[in-house]
Amino acid sequence: MRRLVWLLLPATALVADLGSKAWILRTLGEGESLPVVRGFFYLTLGFNRGAIFGSLTWLPATARSILFAVAGIAALVYFGRLFLARETATWERLALGLILGGALGNGLDRIYRGAVVDFLDFVFGTWHYWTFNLADSFILVGAILYGLRMLMAPKAEPQAKEN
């Protein structure tokens, strides 16, 4: 039962991501921008038809769809299995829940829109960061937490060979 309660985490991440995307789609047209903190943070509607940072846009749409579908299903199966495993530690489950919620949000975008809706837009002086969304943030935070957990996990001692 406790593992099922954990399903609220990826579900909440998914709802927050889809809700934010629905709001931005109602609020802005593609390419339109709304300043939140001028010179630093904007809401700018864009669509990413490629992979991370817009990569793979050179592939034909059908090839991208197949690649993203296979990679998405593989990731959901792999991370979902770890997420639901009885022996998964709390911090790992937290990280995996964020990754799953984000992956589902971006995956559903690809299925229903053929592109991921991006709108969080940061500028640092003359440098303009790629526009992203809540799902991307959940995936990144989950990956950082998972990586930290792996770094802090006790190392197994090598077994001495018997002669």
Domain ranges of the chain: 2-152
* Selected catalytic residue, list 17, 109, 121, 136: 136
Verify whether residue 109 is a known catalytic residue.
no
Helix and strand counts by DSSP (H, E) for the chain? 5, 4
Q: What is the pLDDT of residues 131-163, one digit of tens each?
A: 999 999 999 999 999 999 888 877 655 565 655
Verify whether residue 121 is a known catalytic residue.
no
User: What is the pLDDT at residue 65?
Assistant: 65
pLDDT bin (cut points 50, 70, 90) of residue 43 is very high
**CA distance to 40, 69, 156, per residue, from 160 (Å):** 56, 45, 12
* Selected catalytic residue, list 17, 109, 118, 121: 118
pLDDT bin (cut points 50, 70, 90) of residue 1 is low
Predicted confidence (pLDDT) at residue 7 exceeds the cutoff of 70: yes
CA–CA distance, 147 with 158 (Å, rounded to integer): 22
Predicted confidence (pLDDT) at residue 11 exceeds the cutoff of 60: yes
Q: What is the pLDDT of residues 56-107, one digit of tens each?
A: 555 566 666 676 677 778 888 888 888 888 888 888 999 999 999 999 999 8
